[in-house]
Structure 1
Amino acid sequence: MNKKVEEQLRAWGKNKEQVPDFFSKGIDDVLNNLPETATPTNERMVRTKPKKKRLVAKSLVAAAVISFGVIGSGFISPTMAQMLKEVPIIGSIFSNSEDRSLTIIDEQDLASTLNQTVTDQGITLTITETYFGGGRLVIAYTIESEEVELERVVKGRGVPLHYNALIDGEQFSHSTTFEQSVDEGVAKGIIDMSIGLESELSEKPVLDLKVKEIAGVTGSWNFTLPIDLEKTKAATKTFSPMTSATWEDAAFVVEKVEFTPVQSQIIIDRTVPKDDIFDYGFSVYDENGTSLGFHGGSGSSVIDVGNGLVNFKDTILLQGREEVPTGLMIEVYNNHGGPYESSKVKEVNIPLTESELPYTLNYPDGSKLIVTGVEQLEDETVVYYDIEGKLNLQNAFLMLEIENGERLPPIMLEAKRTNLQKLSFSQSFDQSEGPISLFTTIDANEVDTFVFEVKLD
């Protein structure tokens, strides 16, 4: 249950002037005995026969409060009325997400409660909560029906519903992943959008969500949803550095940097030669050169500004952060539009033995990756290395090759910084025994890089 609601209900239960003893005890009993919902995580889809039975236990508290507020006292106080409006009858869907960044929404009470319902074709769709911030729009929902078979969807591996969406009446670029669980015939899911906007939002933006298909059934489930920005303001750090840089015939302006605990974003205005529009990319680091991760991105509409140049905005999405860096290092790379040639990629195996370490891997541009050590621990294998030259080598393609020839990927995509005084990192793999080696590649395809700094004041 939503933390704020639970605390308020317990307060009501303990206030003897407002609520009699038998009622406060009933609230506490229900709250303390709400069943936990276990959801399998190792299956792609689980078909579940719809059941008429609803989540009765989790709605008893709200029902009891409503009954007492109306029958016991003859009216509902303003405080109680507002709380009832915000009660998520089935609890926060974000709290059980497979995505750790989404559980933060519930933990920090960043979601806005809506509970808007539309029924069509025997299918009831309820939008329960929304979150907006850091280039991310997330919508929690439930589906109930006796007419269709609802399915569990592992995040990013299925599409339980199809929709169109507008913000303030305008289309916006976005990519979407879904996740959905099914319990007692009720589907609980999340629409997770990474978005790019052409312009700043209005003070009170509105999302028009038009769902046109659910579980293979065509219908019309239309919602007009307010996007509450107040919830995320306290947890959001926003900067407008307007730092500019030029490189060859390209110009870049960092217009906006926004950090939230759920996701962060950087918006860069880019003017480049029309023929080179697809040649550039970005990597982002903090003031010490540590990668801030990469969660995707999008681009705005392209404007022809004449003289063979075009202009548009890049939205770079990064992992959520609560601690904000004092500056950024933005690495721009340019592949010059040349075809990628696999023949220019060399495979390398580095023996991870004391006699072979440190081992220096030299790259065509003069950069280096120096493997300095390895630990085979009880629960993991940790490889340590330093880099010189290109910052993106800290997340170089690395795999651990074990004795039987199997190659293990790293546990995390991002390397761990181990020393701020120099570019030292570690990468963890599953536990291993016996002789091991580090498999990687040296890519000689032509890619130039340019780094500029952005201060965040």
Structure 2
Amino acid sequence: MTCLDTFMLNLYLEDKLPLRMKQEIQRHLDTCSSCQFKFEQYLDDLDTFDDAADDVWQTKATIQNVIDKLPAYPMNVLKPIQKQPVQINWKKRSVDIVKKTTIAVAGLAMVVTFGTAVSPTFANYMNGIYASINPSEITVTKGPYNAKQVVDLFDKKQTDIGVKKAAENGFVQPLDMKVTDQGLTMEISAVVADPLRIIVLGSVKDSSGKKIPSFWKDQFTFISSDNVNEFREVRLKDKNGKVITRLDDKSRETMSGLPLPNGENFAYYGDSLGAYFNEANPMPDELILEMRVKRLTDTKGTWNFDIPIDMRPAKAAMKTVALNKELQTPTGVSVELKEARFVPTATQLEFSNSNSNEKVVEGFRYELVDETGTVVGKWDDMTDPYEGDQDLRIIGMSHGASINFTEKWQPSTSFVHTYMPLDPAKNLTMKLDAVYTAEKVSSQTKLSLAELEKNPKKVDVAGNQITFQSIEMEKDEESTSFDIPLEAILAKDIVGLPKQWTVKDENGNEARLVRLVVNKKENQDGTIKLEGKLDVIFEKKDVKEITVVLDHVIKENKVDWEVQIKGEKK
């Protein structure tokens, strides 16, 4: 911008300029020595008071006194940077301006100007305020990184493309928050957040400055789901410090999350924000992620962070396209594509279904195609989610029968599928060609450990041929575990067996865990062959005979359904 004249200086001091222009003037004053000199002379002309009044404002202690009287947010979440104060002689004019103009906002303007000049702590505070008010206009916030540099801190191989793309598009908030205790330094470098999720990027260094993988590796050693709060506590708060609890459990203050490796750094993924907010409980514009770490590797200590998160840019960027298109299938079930959601880190499709008395929807198969015919998303509930193109889906955030968070633990008939960010301005088409339903069967098969050692056991379940083979058993002090190898040739149009079965011992006690793990292969006649095993765990030592209960199989129902998803044009 051009240099300042008296008219602009007056408007600036009286706080009569738009925010964008005030910020431009502030940046200009920081770099233009000519305007700094003009500004100083301008203050001289206004000064008619004695030096006693001037002396009140001449020290860093006075600035700190002002800081101490400011609200806790965002000061409580910003750590002072330990540097020598900048020695600039500003003629000690802030009190004079307040007295001269008798305008409180002018006094605040002067405190901002001079406080920023002489106190790095105060500059850090004001940067936080400016970034929260209009972060799109701040290229450098707190810390040594700007928004472009911080993207390079994300590892390309270990960061999902949704987070990477959101950061590249400017939805990253650089931070420089460090805490050192017991010779270990934990640092928070950045946060990426939108209405779907929060991701924090950080690192841990030892006393020599070398990065160590403690924060994410600890979860495989001394940390478990039962004791995690002894070593880490994470809470979501509003800007006033009030804890935000989950919709399904108001008594639970702590937030679940998963730290993952990210090159030399770690990335902490918090709970899905859908567990905390809905239309009746809207998301605030500003959040604080409170992180309390009490142990790193074998070292106990205190590493506490209050991470400020401005949700406004991402909330403004979110686009929701209401669709409400319904497919009535010949099987008696209906499938509805309710809406498409576009946020900086992801794109979501939400389906719902209504089940008939006999049929239950187990899933779908479809492709998501853009206006050039390119497949930009795929979904198949009968395919291993880790197969295929991992650049399309965000596996951990895609699910069927999602939880209705307003009614504790009650599943809804909602299916949410999450993809990498797609452009809401481009037309998409959802092409669905199969709906999977649960077909009821009734089968109870007794398996004797001694007999299976001699011969496999074959059973026919509604035309599906299932063979159980010799069982491997393992005991410890508290439980008995079984690996039950099996092979299945499925009937026509049957494409799978349920992952969850019921297994009982000879006394009718149900197993604590039953899980089916299989590989699928298509035969030449179009039928499917499964090979794998049932993993079974009982909470007791002695089990001699088990009964395997199967109540349904999964059928493919072919359909031909297309839905146009038309977003807002730019």
TM-score normalised by structure 1 residue count: 0.51
Higher relative contact order structure (alpha carbons within 8 Å, sequence separation ≥ 6): 1
Aligned partner of 1:214 among 296, 300, 310: 296
Counterpart residue number, 2:511:
none
Gaps of 5+ in 1: 1-6, 21-61, 183-187, 346-363, 366-438
Counterpart residue number, 2:402:
300
Aligned partner of 2:144 among 89, 107, 110: 89
Letter in 2 for 1:444: T
Counterpart residue number, 1:67:
85
Q: Which has the higher helix share?
A: 2
Cα distance in 2, alignment partners of residues 266 and 83 from structure 1:
37
Matches within 5 A, 1:53-452: 67-68=85-86, 71-73=88-90, 75-77=114-116, 82-83=126-127, 86-89=141-144, 92-98=149-155, 99=159, 100-113=161-174, 115-117=176-178, 123-133=184-194, 135-146=196-207, 150-152=211-213, 163=232, 165-167=234-236, 168-170=244-246, 176=258, 178-182=260-264, 188-192=265-269, 195=272, 197-198=274-275, 199-200=277-278, 201-204=282-285, 206=287, 207-211=289-293, 213-215=295-297, 217=299, 221=303, 223-247=305-329, 248-272=331-355, 279-281=362-364, 283-286=366-369, 290-292=375-377, 293-296=392-395, 297-298=398-399, 300-301=402-403, 311-322=412-423, 324-329=425-430, 331=432, 333-334=435-436, 336=438, 444-445=527-528, 446-450=555-559, 451-452=561-562
Q: 1:9 to 1:125 in 2, by over 3 A?
A: farther
The alpha-carbon deviation at position 97 of structure 1 amounts to: 1.4
SS in 2 for 1:125: strand
Q: 1:265 to 1:215 in 2, by over 3 A?
A: farther
Cα distance in 2, alignment partners of residues 11 and 220 from structure 1:
41
Cα distance in 2, alignment partners of residues 189 and 93 from structure 1:
14
Deviations 1:285-328 (A, max 9, x none): 136563423222135326999xxx96343331101123543343
Letter in 2 for 1:88: G
The alpha-carbon deviation at position 114 of structure 1 amounts to: 5.0
SS in 1 for 2:152: helix
Cα distance in 1, alignment partners of residues 169 and 196 from structure 2:
18
Counterpart residue number, 1:412:
none
Q: 1:257 to 1:227 in 2, by over 3 A?
A: farther
Deviations 1:98-155 (A, max 9, x none): 23543434432212345455555554434343222363321122334439985359x9
The alpha-carbon deviation at position 448 of structure 1 amounts to: 2.7
Aligned length: 309
SS in 2 for 1:17: helix
Counterpart residue number, 1:36:
none
CA contact (8 A) 2:352 2:413 kept: yes
Deviations 1:413-448 (A, max 9, x none): xxxxxxxxxxxxxxxxxxxxxxxxxx9987633533
Q: 1:211 to 1:323 in 2, by over 3 A?
A: same
Cα distance in 2, alignment partners of residues 268 and 232 from structure 1:
24
Q: 1:310 to 1:144 in 2, by over 3 A?
A: closer
Cα distance in 1, alignment partners of residues 358 and 286 from structure 2:
36
Letter in 2 for 1:456: K
Cα distance in 2, alignment partners of residues 218 and 330 from structure 1:
54
Higher Cα radius of gyration = 2
Letter in 1 for 2:127: M
Q: Which has the higher strand share?
A: 1
Deviations 1:344-381 (A, max 9, x none): 69xxxxxxxxxxxxxxxxxx98xxxxxxxxxxxxxxxx
Cα distance in 1, alignment partners of residues 324 and 308 from structure 2:
30
Cα distance in 1, alignment partners of residues 28 and 428 from structure 2:
44
CA contact (8 A) 1:93 1:140 kept: no
Q: 1:330 to 1:124 in 2, by over 3 A?
A: farther
Cα distance in 2, alignment partners of residues 259 and 315 from structure 1:
13
SS in 1 for 2:144: coil
Letter in 2 for 1:334: Y
Cα distance in 2, alignment partners of residues 329 and 179 from structure 1:
34
Letter in 1 for 2:152: S
CA contact (8 A) 2:431 2:563 kept: yes
Letter in 2 for 1:17: S
Letter in 2 for 1:268: F
Letter in 2 for 1:294: R
The alpha-carbon deviation at position 159 of structure 1 amounts to: 6.5
Gaps of 5+ in 2: 1-23, 38-80, 93-113, 130-140, 237-243, 249-254, 378-391, 441-463, 467-486, 494-520, 529-554
Matched, 1:456 2:566: yes
Cα distance in 1, alignment partners of residues 319 and 294 from structure 2:
36
Q: 1:224 to 1:152 in 2, by over 3 A?
A: closer
SS in 2 for 1:336: strand
Cα distance in 1, alignment partners of residues 168 and 361 from structure 2:
40
Deviations 1:265-291 (A, max 9, x none): 223344446997682245451365634
